[in-house]
Amino acid sequence: MDTKTKAGAGALPLNTILDGDCIDEMRKLPDCSVDLVFADPPYNLQLKGHLHRPDNSRVDAVDDAWDSFASFQTYDQFTRAWLAEARRVLKPNGAIWVIGSYHNVFRLGAALQDLQFWILNDVVWRKTNPMPNFRGKRLTNAHETLIWASKEEASRYTFNYEALKELNDGVQMRSDWVLPICTGHEREKDENGEKAHPTQKPQSLLHRVMIATSNPGDVVLDPFFGTGTTGAVAKMLGRDYIGIERDADYRRVAETRLARIRKYDKAALEVTRPKRAEPRVPFGQLVERGMLRPGEVLTSLNGRHAAKVRADGTLVADDVKGSIHKVGAALEGAPSCNGWTYWCFKRDGQTVPIDLLRQQIRAEMQ
Amino acid sequence: MDTKTKAGAGALPLNTILDGDCIDEMRKLPDCSVDLVFADPPYNLQLKGHLHRPDNSRVDAVDDAWDSFASFQTYDQFTRAWLAEARRVLKPNGAIWVIGSYHNVFRLGAALQDLQFWILNDVVWRKTNPMPNFRGKRLTNAHETLIWASKEEASRYTFNYEALKELNDGVQMRSDWVLPICTGHEREKDENGEKAHPTQKPQSLLHRVMIATSNPGDVVLDPFFGTGTTGAVAKMLGRDYIGIERDADYRRVAETRLARIRKYDKAALEVTRPKRAEPRVPFGQLVERGMLRPGEVLTSLNGRHAAKVRADGTLVADDVKGSIHKVGAALEGAPSCNGWTYWCFKRDGQTVPIDLLRQQIRAEMQ
DNA sequence: TAAATTGCTGAATCGGAGA
DNA sequence: TTCTCCGATTCAGCAATTT
């Protein structure tokens, strides 16, 4: 087992599966210690014929209003208890994903909001191959819902926008994800060759979740670990995981599964970075380095405006002086303006944005 | 006005728009008198400042007073009050549809369950043309959620299975509906030519709802009538409607609109059939789904170049990074390149184009 | 303050070919 | 020549918890 602990975070049981109830086990973890929680809690499907109280005694009359209300209450209590622990364990800039169906997802979402999580998106997992509706009494239940929320409104959560855009062929990723359910070789089997877990999630779903909202080296906690899809994808993608699972059979399947997994190589884990993360280049440096001369005239992208470069890296146009951004915004009457892509200069008879010069400097900095 | 009353149901104000608060007006309606409720309540968006597009144009946000609530608690009280009245007014075998976004839909769903409604499906309206995410900080919010619920678990609700199957080219209708947002001529305008209502729903959505879960002659109640899409579609499809709207401007637009509508104007509704094109498959999906592994090496069709797959579905070769098309073009010194037919991988000792994998995914999507 | 950030649809307009 | 038609192009607009 490639267990280790994270320096400075107490004693995090990284890359292990904790044996026990998720609320009890989370209580043992320190505050503000994990980056991401992924949770696939029980769906509360047992509401139909057989209703059980917390002590496992059976509720008889299902059409009784009081009983029915009580069952939602019980589910809500459980939900709010584990969500509160998950929130405590999350770092201030951490985030959570929960997944559910119409049976439980409204309870989950309302609980998240009441506990001061801040919902960022709800995401629809649209199944390419759902179970048909055999009786023709309802619509084919062809999707499940994920909720992505940060610990609090002010959290500076992780979102790898550019990587997701790449995953989606260059257009920004939407809130509806089309992915097949988990079948075939990917589906974990028990000793009898039967499916080991009734609701195993596809690795593709977790892959997208982790690429989108975590970075290599992050700690991912799954309080309902099951057969370990979260751990498997975390390990492949170079994240650390903590699993909690109280069922010994599921734990055994997950241990075997995780032992087989290999991490992808480092280059493969690199994803497209945002421009914000690239080193800042002051406009003045272009002037200092002689790429633009003081007195040279820049023109706006739309050709309607012109401004003169000054020796200190500011621009002057008519009665406006200031940074490339400020002058551009003023001339356009706009609240803001990205001067790098707005202002152009002449090179070889062509008019090109000054951002080209910044890219040259950045390339030299590599 | 084609007002009439329904025999034996007290004095139902059929095919009229009631002026007032929806809770007050519903209180005046008799118990167990309507077949279907469609409700598009305020979403309780919690918007702070102003948002601009990259081109500096301002996003016309929903900042109307009717959408603003002091807290979740206030919103919940309002929600439970109108839902309770709606339930009282519903016939025993009646049903309700509510629509919302992640801001409010979890409150709605939990309230429905607590009030003994029985959820039948949640339905995802996937927008073909949603508003993009301009800041690149979240996923494009490309869907809204509808909840379909019967008055109680024992209700023998209406579901026109065969009609929906027909609407869906002969295959069972799923819980995700792909429909465009309301634009163009369908969008109601005020005297100034501005959109009359910020959140007008497309007729195609109401058409599907009513075909699915009501019959000609049924009474459909909409407590948040707005500019009257529910009434318009009800009238076209030979259902009776009752609208409630407290805003005089919205009522006026709705009255004018409804006067224009003719029953069974099927031609006007036919335009919303989705077109079937070859579905786009992002290359990233091959990676997410494990058909190609991050770190795996692809070779060019001519055997002269190689590139490594990254976890976000980009390729890296020498000093070029980017999409399969971009990297192919760069290596060949060509202006463009179809990466699907250019890049190959090994399978069973043979080198085959990655397009084979795309074909597999498309076959699954049928 | 600096600098980053948008996809799709339907209507309107424009330009070229053919009547 | 002038008009019409059609395809190509441009442009406006959309429920947003947006560093």
Domain boundary among B269, B299, B333: B269
Instruction: Tell me, yes or no, whether B116 lies in a domain.
Output: yes
pLDDT digits (tens, 9 = 90+) for A221-264: 999 999 999 999 999 999 999 999 999 999 999 999 999 999 98
Q: In this structure, is the CB of residue B128 within 7 Å of any atom belonging to strand D? A: no
Counting the structural domains of chain B, the total is 2
Residue B354 lies in a domain: yes
Q: Which of B126, B308, B312 sits opposite A166 (nearest CB)?
A: B312
Same domain, B297 and B239: no
Is residue A60's pLDDT more than 70?
A: no
Whether residues B132 and B176 share a domain: the answer is yes
Q: Which of B139, B147, B283 sits opposite A121 (nearest CB)?
A: B139
B217, B351: one domain: no
In a shared domain, residues B65 and B191:
yes
Are residues A202 and A299 located together in one domain of the fold?
no
**Mean of pLDDT values over A107-136:** 95
Average pLDDT over residues B238-254: 97
A160 part of a folded domain: yes
Task: Give a yes or no: residue B7 inside a domain.
Answer: no
For residues A328 and A356, membership in a common domain is answered with yes
| pLDDT over 60 at A58, yes or no | no
Report pLDDT for A10: 59
A235, A302: one domain: no
Whether B276 maps to a domain, the answer reads no
Q: Taking the model in full, what pTM does it have?
A: 0.92
Give how far B314 is from chain A: nearest CA, Å: 6
What is the reported pLDDT for A11? 82
Residues whose CB falls within 8 Å of the CB of residue B106, separated by 6 or more in sequence, listed in order: A105, A106, A107, A108, A109, A110, A112, A113
- Mean pLDDT, chain B, whole residue set: 91
Last residue of one domain, picked from the residues A207, A237, A269:
A269
Q: End of a domain among A244, A269, A294? A: A269
Tell me: do A249 and A288 sit in the same domain.
Answer: no
Residues 6+ apart with CB under 8 A from A257: A188, A227, A228, A231, A232
- What is the pLDDT at residue B268? 47
Indicate whether A37 belongs to any domain.
yes
- The predicted pLDDT at position A366 comes to 74
Q: What is residue A355's predicted lDDT score, i.e. its pLDDT?
A: 94
Q: Residues B110-139: what's their mean pLDDT?
A: 96
The overall average pLDDT reported for chain A is 90
Residue percentage of chain A with pLDDT more than 90: 76
Please give the biggest Cα pair distance in chain B.
82
Span A187-197, average pLDDT: 92
Residue A112 included in any domain: yes
Looking up residue A28, the CATH number of its domain turns out to be: 3.40.50.150
Residue B125: is its pLDDT beyond 70? yes
Measure CA to C1' and name the residue nearest D17: B46
Top residue of A176, A213, A272 to mutate, by most chain B CBs within 10 Å, is A176
Which pLDDT band holds residue A326 (cuts at 50, 70, 90)?
very high
Question: What is the model's pLDDT at position A70?
Answer: 65
Do residues A172 and B136 make contact, with C-beta atoms less than 8 angstroms apart?
Answer: yes
* Structure token pair of residue A81: 């208890």
Q: State the amino acid at position B235 in one-letter form.
A: K
Cβ contact B68:A348 at 8 Å: no
Domain with B358, as residue range(s), is 283-365
Same domain, A253 and A290: no
Q: What is the pLDDT of residues A126-172, one digit of tens each?
A: 999 998 888 899 999 999 999 999 999 999 999 999 999 999 999 99
Higher pLDDT, A190 or A47: A190
Q: What percent of chain B stands above pLDDT 90? A: 79
The pLDDT-based confidence of B269 (bands split at 50, 70, 90) is: very low
CA–CA distance, A113 with B156 (Å, rounded to integer): 34
Confirm if A123 and A175 have CB atoms less than 8 A apart.
yes
Residue A283 has pLDDT above 50, yes or no: yes
| pLDDT, tens only, A227-236 | 999 999 999 9
Most confident of A65-69, A92-96, B66-70: A92-96
How confident is the model at residue A163, as a pLDDT? 96
> A residues 227-256 near B, CB within 8 Å?
236-237
In this complex, do B138 and A120 lie within 8 Å of one another by their Cβ atoms?
yes
Going by pLDDT thresholds of 50, 70 and 90, the confidence category of residue B279 is confident
Residue A135: the pLDDT is 86
Q: Is the CB of B136 under 7 A from strand C?
A: yes
Q: Residue A63 is nearest to which of B124, B153, B172, comparing CB atoms? A: B153
Identify whether A43 is part of a domain. Answer: yes
Residue A174: pLDDT band (50, 70, 90) is very high
Q: Examine the domain organization and report whether B321 and B247 are in the same domain.
A: no
Distances, alpha carbon A257 to alpha carbons A199, A252, A298, B172, B286, in Å? 16, 9, 61, 36, 22
Mean pLDDT of B244-271: 82
pLDDT band of residue B277 (cuts 50, 70, 90) is: low
User: What does the alpha-carbon distance between residue B223 and residue B98 come to, in Å, rounded to a whole number?
Assistant: 11
Establish whether the CB of B49 is closer than 7 Å to any nucleic acid atom in strand D.
yes
Q: Torsion over CA of B291, B293, B297 and B301, rounded to 10 degrees? A: 20
The single residue listed with the structure tokens 């080991």 is A196
Cβ within 8 Å, pair B314-A272: yes
State how far residue B56 is from chain A, nearest Cα, in angstroms.
Answer: 6
Same domain membership, residue B222 and residue B312: no
Residues A34 and A74 in one domain: yes
In chain B, residues with a C-beta closer than 8 Å to the C-beta of A65 are 116
Measured to protein CB atoms, the chain D nucleotides within 7 Å are 13-19
Instruction: Give yes or no for CB of B144 within 7 Å of strand D.
Output: yes
Among the listed residues A262, A266, A196, the one whose alpha carbon sits nearest the alpha carbon of residue A232: A262
